[in-house]
Chains A and B, each alone.
Chain A
């Protein structure tokens, strides 16, 4: 049962929950594309509280709600609200909860979505809390893989780039491993996945700093950004970032049906000559955010 449930952390979702979300998301695809119309959420109000900007995520949620016939209130600039006058998040949530049927929150502090879920009567969906959880991103990533290959179990997934600081990649590693994928962790030594995250994985991952070594085994290349700030020396950064760049040339020795994913925005981790290749799946992945979020809204509001 999903009705009334909060979606705060991916760890709270069982395999069956995830299957149910994907089943509904699959049905939502023609509606998300505008090919089919529905108003199953007519009369429902979604509040999107973006305490820090994330235009892509916010637009994706708002599109999801409107495609289902619901309406949206909210803000994407907290400076213009009473929050900047020192109101607690708890109070803001209590009030918005009175105005709406479901709340989506993005907030710079870790654990803020859990707080919101405790203070709101209505369901709360976490759209990213600081360096913490971002479960809808994780779900749309999984959905993209599941649609492509049918099953996550047995997939060889390479997580590439900054595996140290990117907490969303930690959640993704956790859930992929729980669902039976084989993980390949590809990063410069400086940005390796922390031990406490690896400890929670079901199976020991393959760790390497050389993408070339595992290229031919991979089904999914999940690329993340390596941030300049992580390196004291800019030349070192350029050297390291360059060695994890996905190019058309590199992919010529990859599996034929391998796909390339990226949470976007990308800078130059994926060369634009990959865009026209059958491997490129990052734009599809971004689109999949809409049907997955439609499914979550419909499920927590209890209309499907």
Chain B
């Protein structure tokens, strides 16, 4: 049943299918992957799709594969997502994204008074305080950031 719904979105030959994205976060996922305007490959989005666990979003991108860093970013925006790698219309690999223990260089601190926002030669870094709900702490100013703030501040 679920497979059938998924298929409503066009099947792809090579590329990735990011499934089980929390409802409403699909466009965020595209944004952090820098997919906007003319990228030279097909992208399809399904929003508000019924699944076994309630509602979800799905993103399919043709001829695109992900780097480790991009997987970490997806984990921050869509902690429940699974990434399927498609070759010749077949899923050749499937992985759950996972928020890393240390988040380095992919999120900006929301604290305007934080030293990481002052033109110093620093890479912003955070520790994960809690995974559900997601809370991270800035290594420098020690301020906590919650899910919505994190999503808005991905570099």
Q: Which residues of B contact A177 (CB under 8 A)?
A: none
Q: Which residues of A contact B113 (CB under 8 A)?
A: 108-110, 130-131
B115, B122, B140 — most chain A CB neighbours (10 Å)? B115
| Interface-lining segment among B25-33, B36-44, B141-149 | B141-149
B140 and A115 contacting across the interface, CB-CB below 8 Å: yes
A206 at the interface (CB under 8 A from B): no
A89 and B115 contacting across the interface, CB-CB below 8 Å: yes
Give complex CA distance A112, B138 in Å. 12
Instruction: Give the contacts of A72-97 with B (CB-CB under 8 A).
Output: 88-90
B141 and A88 contacting across the interface, CB-CB below 8 Å: no
B120 at the interface (CB under 8 A from A): yes
A111 and B121 contacting across the interface, CB-CB below 8 Å: no
B139 at the interface (CB under 8 A from A): yes
Q: Which of B115, B119, B121 contacts A110 (CB 8 A)?
A: B115
CB distance from A240 to the nearest CB of B (A): 26
A88 and B119 contacting across the interface, CB-CB below 8 Å: yes
Assign chain B's interface to a size class: 10 to 19
A114 at the interface (CB under 8 A from B): yes
B34 at the interface (CB under 8 A from A): no
Give complex CA distance A129, B138 in Å. 14
Give complex CA distance A133, B143 in Å. 11
CB distance from A304 to the nearest CB of B (A): 29
B144 and A111 contacting across the interface, CB-CB below 8 Å: no
Q: Which residues of B contact A129 (CB under 8 A)?
A: 115
Instruction: Give the contacts of B120-155 with A (CB-CB under 8 A).
Output: 120-122, 138-144
A9 at the interface (CB under 8 A from B): yes
Give complex CA distance A206, B139 in Å. 30
B143 and A110 contacting across the interface, CB-CB below 8 Å: yes
A90 and B142 contacting across the interface, CB-CB below 8 Å: no
B115 nearest CB neighbor, chain A only: A111
B144 and A196 contacting across the interface, CB-CB below 8 Å: yes
Give complex CA distance A114, B121 in Å. 13
Q: A111-B115, A112-B115 are in contact. Are A132 and B141 (CB under 8 A)?
A: yes
CB distance from A92 to the nearest CB of B (A): 10
B111, B114, B120, B143 — most chain A CB neighbours (10 Å)? B120
A110, A111, A131, A132 — most chain B CB neighbours (10 Å)? A111
CB distance from A86 to the nearest CB of B (A): 9
A114 and B144 contacting across the interface, CB-CB below 8 Å: no
| Chain A positions 255 through 296: 1 when the CB is less than 8 Å from some CB of chain B, otherwise 0 | 000000000000000000000000000000000000000000
B82 at the interface (CB under 8 A from A): no
Q: A9-B142, A133-B142, A196-B144 are in contact. Are A114 and B119 (CB under 8 A)?
A: no
B116 at the interface (CB under 8 A from A): yes
B114 and A109 contacting across the interface, CB-CB below 8 Å: yes
Give complex CA distance A9, B141 in Å. 10
CB distance from B110 to the nearest CB of A (A): 12
A109 and B143 contacting across the interface, CB-CB below 8 Å: no
Q: Which residues of B contact A107 (CB under 8 A)?
A: 115
Give complex CA distance A115, B118 in Å. 11
B114 and A110 contacting across the interface, CB-CB below 8 Å: yes
B143 and A115 contacting across the interface, CB-CB below 8 Å: no
Q: A114-B139, A132-B141 are in contact. Are A109 and B119 (CB under 8 A)?
A: no
Q: Which residues of A contact B122 (CB under 8 A)?
A: 90, 115
Residues of A within 8 A of B (CB): 9, 88-90, 107-112, 114-115, 129-133, 196
Chosen A-B contacts, 6 in total, with CB atoms closer than 8 Å, are A88-B121, A89-B118, A90-B121, A110-B140, A111-B138, A114-B139
